[in-house]
A and B are shown apart, each in its own frame.
Chain A
Amino acid sequence: MIISVRDLRREFVVRRPTGRLRRTRTVVRAVDGLDFDVDAGTAIGYIGANGAGKSTTIKMLTGILKPTAGSVQTCGLVPMRDRKVLARRIGVVFGQRSQLWWDLPLAQSFRTLAAIHRLPETGWPARRDELVERLDLGDFIHTPVRQLSLGQRIRGEIAAALLHSPELLILDEPTIGLDVLSKERLRVFLAEQRAEHGTTLLLTTHDMDDVQRLCERIIVVDRGRLAYDGTLPGLAARVGAERVITLDLTEPAPPLRDVPGTRLVDVEPDGLRQRLSFSPHETTAAAVLARVGQLVGVRDLAIDEPDIEDVVRRLYLGAPSVGSSDGGVHAEQ
């Protein structure tokens, strides 16, 4: 058991000025009674909407924040009390906050980190070379971090967090802002690290693909509480993680009500744009397209994956449903 969380709570006091001198004091429960365990070697997706309490949980797992109540153990240690011992056994990457020295090149940062973790001079260069090769850092290892692109910097951050070969790697939104190719390379790398070194992964993300590709277990938090704990297919079965295919037709057509395995979501008045939802377990996008193609010409199409916010919302509503006319990935924007 690498993480053990029991009835974990964390409150914040928010003071807001009301009037010239008065301030109201509100207690916000960021984490409100979480219970879960993580076995060593697992890859776990920790997901939830913004403000659901993900970062707060991570800060309590790593010893940055003290729980208001309940207990947390990471690598068998109490994070706040054993912060320095724990720091040698875990690696943490915050996608939106750099832990590197912005004015130093990665090569220098690695040297400094090796010294900080007191890694033996005989061992760490080999580990660094492995990370440089796998994460493809060679081209910019001597460039100051502030001149790197986002994708390059994140790869550097991950290498920095893994240099001391931690048992547990915690990633907070590691793929945020990355292009599709960078995301994919990162996922492949993380899966490799896990396979080769048995590293436990805990990642928070907004990207359903991250979860799908990397995690065998998902924990969904909503307003600080556990909303779901299980596998991704289990979650999909519960909330009906359906994809929505938007078809732009070459000519107006009657509503496409009888395509097997799909449900018609909406039709624009002229019949030129129609949206169908389908479950990936029942049919495929290709099959849907083939069937529609027999009825009418398709000029263009787009497929929207259900996003985390959507899944969480549906989980909360407790009923499988499909987005309305404005459903899909961009529903929240």
Chain B
Amino acid sequence: MVDRLRPYRELIGSRIRSQTAYRRSFALDVSGSVMVGLVEFAEVYIIFANVDALGGLDFAGVALVFALAHLTFSVADLIIGHLDNLPTYLRMGTLDAFLLRPLPVLAQLVTSDVSLRRFGRIAVAMIILAIALPMNDIDWTPARVALLIIAATAGTAIFAALFLAAAAVQFWLVEGREFVNAFTYGGNYAASFPASVFAVPMRAFFTFVVPAAFVAYLPTLVLLDLPGPVGLPQWLGWCSPVAAVALWCAALAGWRAGLRHYSGAGS
């Protein structure tokens, strides 16, 4: 098992070494990503300076949704977010180099970059989560502790699958980075707010097509024991692993089709 992972340990290790080699630019990168996280949270804070409740949640509840969404998004971004480099790889022929190595292409892509600066955003999300959890009046049962862990894991998987699906689409679009960012970063934005603030069609879209509501809002309903809005019963909060698995199946199928398209249609 250890030996099976040797190529990947070496690949990730080499990526980390190359980044930390330039300490000053590394420090700037990290502080930049901390700033981004803080500015985004400031948006939530400003909204609550003017209203008392948003989509049936108070400030503490929305902060919890925000923290969960950002934590899962930034972890997924760290692991797999660089898949949006695929158009560059296609143009530069890097993908051909991957195809000439005895490893799966997706595994090589995932290990082709580790953006340590993304730890900045993870740290911001962790701090907000640590503050938001005690602010809410949660009746902690073993089931709710389990739910929080399940939600964080499944949420990360959902965002990772979104990144993968977005990358798969690039095989056809070539210059479609902005288009697919609408789904990944847009999904993150949608997940950061209670789905109940959206009109019903949007709510359905961000639940059953891009399952952003499963990341944070629905699990938060369970944690706070609140009834869901029309069409989104509370028990859906337990179903984020189902959404994650379904999305992964779709994303992997898309990825395989994309690779086949690449070797079939060529560059």
Interface residues of A (CB under 8 A from B): 10, 12-13, 56, 59, 62-66, 80, 83-85, 87-88, 90, 92, 94, 97-99, 101, 103-104, 108, 111-112, 115-118
Q: 8 Å CB contacts to A: which residues of B78-134? A: 92-93, 96-97, 99-104
With the chains together, A26 CA to B263 CA distance in Å? 19
Identity of the chain B residue whose Cβ is nearest the Cβ of A30 in the assembled complex: B266
Identity of the chain A residue whose Cβ is nearest the Cβ of B8 in the assembled complex: A115
List residues of chain B with CB within 8 A of the CB of A63.
99-100, 263
| Per-residue A-contact encoding for B19-51, CB less than 8 Å = 1, 0 else | 000000000000000000000000000000000
Q: Is A101 touching B18 in the complex (CB atoms < 8 A)?
A: yes
Q: Does B252 contact A (CB under 8 A)?
A: no
Question: Which of A64, A84, A92 counts the most B-chain CB atoms under 10 A from its CB?
Answer: A64
Given contacts A64-B96, A97-B93, contact A116 B11 (CB under 8 A): yes
Q: Is A87 touching B14 in the complex (CB atoms < 8 A)?
A: no
List residues of chain A with CB within 8 A of the CB of B3.
118
Given contacts A66-B263, A94-B93, contact A101 B102 (CB under 8 A): no
List residues of chain B with CB within 8 A of the CB of A80.
263
Q: How many residues of B contact A (CB 8 A)?
A: 23
Question: Which of B97, B264, B265 counts the most A-chain CB atoms under 10 A from its CB?
Answer: B97
Chain B facing A: main interface SS? helix
With the chains together, A83 CA to B104 CA distance in Å? 9
Identity of the chain B residue whose Cβ is nearest the Cβ of A121 in the assembled complex: B6
Given contacts A112-B10, A118-B6, contact A84 B103 (CB under 8 A): yes
Q: Does B256 contact A (CB under 8 A)?
A: no
Pick from B6, B14, B93, B100: contact of A108, CB under 8 Å:
B14
14 residue pairs of the A-B complex, CB under 8 angstroms, read A10-B266, A56-B266, A59-B96, A59-B266, A63-B100, A64-B100, A66-B264, A85-B102, A88-B102, A92-B100, A97-B96, A101-B14, A108-B14, A118-B3
Q: How far is the CB of B65 from chain A (nearest CB, A)?
A: 39
List residues of chain B with CB within 8 A of the CB of A115.
6-7, 9-11
List residues of chain B with CB within 8 A of the CB of A99.
97, 100
Q: How many A-B residue pairs have CB under 8 A?
A: 72
Q: How far is the CB of B67 from chain A (nearest CB, A)?
A: 34
Q: Is B263 touching A65 in the complex (CB atoms < 8 A)?
A: yes
With the chains together, A85 CA to B100 CA distance in Å? 10
Q: Is A111 touching B10 in the complex (CB atoms < 8 A)?
A: yes
With the chains together, A271 CA to B27 CA distance in Å? 72
Chain A facing B: main interface SS? mixed
Apart from A64-B100, A87-B99, A111-B10, list 18 A-B contacts with CB within 8 A.
A13-B265, A62-B100, A63-B100, A64-B99, A65-B266, A66-B264, A85-B102, A87-B100, A92-B100, A94-B93, A101-B18, A104-B18, A108-B17, A112-B10, A115-B11, A118-B3, A118-B7, A118-B102
List residues of chain A with CB within 8 A of the CB of B265.
12-13
With the chains together, A209 CA to B263 CA distance in Å? 33
Q: How far is the CB of B132 from chain A (nearest CB, A)?
A: 39
With the chains together, A80 CA to B262 CA distance in Å? 12
With the chains together, A116 CA to B104 CA distance in Å? 11
With the chains together, A13 CA to B10 CA distance in Å? 39
Q: How far is the CB of A304 from chain B (nearest CB, A)?
A: 33
With the chains together, A117 CA to B265 CA distance in Å? 28
List residues of chain A with CB within 8 A of the CB of B96.
59, 64, 94, 97
List residues of chain B with CB within 8 A of the CB of A66.
263-264
Q: How far is the CB of A256 from chain B (nearest CB, A)?
A: 50
Question: Which of B92, B100, B263, B264 counts the most A-chain CB atoms under 10 A from its CB?
Answer: B100
Q: For the complex of A and B, list the 6 residue pairs with the smallest distance between their C-beta atoms, beginning with the closest.
A: A115-B10, A87-B102, A97-B93, A99-B97, A84-B102, A103-B18
Q: Is A87 touching B101 in the complex (CB atoms < 8 A)?
A: yes
With the chains together, A101 CA to B15 CA distance in Å? 9
Q: How far is the CB of A10 from chain B (nearest CB, A)?
A: 8
With the chains together, A98 CA to B100 CA distance in Å? 12
With the chains together, A64 CA to B95 CA distance in Å? 9
Identity of the chain A residue whose Cβ is nearest the Cβ of B266 in the assembled complex: A65
List residues of chain B with CB within 8 A of the CB of A56.
266
With the chains together, A56 CA to B265 CA distance in Å? 11
With the chains together, A83 CA to B17 CA distance in Å? 30
List residues of chain B with CB within 8 A of the CB of A10.
266
List residues of chain A with CB within 8 A of the CB of B97.
97-99
Given contacts A116-B7, A116-B10, contact A12 B266 (CB under 8 A): yes
Identity of the chain B residue whose Cβ is nearest the Cβ of A161 in the assembled complex: B100
Q: How far is the CB of B33 from chain A (nearest CB, A)?
A: 20
With the chains together, A65 CA to B259 CA distance in Å? 10
Q: How far is the CB of B11 from chain A (nearest CB, A)?
A: 6
List residues of chain B with CB within 8 A of the CB of A87.
99-102
Identity of the chain A residue whose Cβ is nearest the Cβ of B263 in the assembled complex: A66
Question: Which of B9, B92, B263 counts the most A-chain CB atoms under 10 A from its CB?
Answer: B263
Identity of the chain B residue whose Cβ is nearest the Cβ of A87 in the assembled complex: B102
Q: Is B99 touching A116 in the complex (CB atoms < 8 A)?
A: no
With the chains together, A116 CA to B11 CA distance in Å? 8
Question: Which of B97, B264, B266 counts the most A-chain CB atoms under 10 A from its CB?
Answer: B266
Q: Is B266 touching A112 in the complex (CB atoms < 8 A)?
A: no
Q: Is A104 touching B14 in the complex (CB atoms < 8 A)?
A: yes
Q: How far is the CB of B14 from chain A (nearest CB, A)?
A: 5
With the chains together, A94 CA to B100 CA distance in Å? 11
Pick from A12, A101, A116: contact of B101, CB under 8 Å:
A116
Q: How far is the CB of B259 from chain A (nearest CB, A)?
A: 11
Q: How far is the CB of A63 from chain B (nearest CB, A)?
A: 6
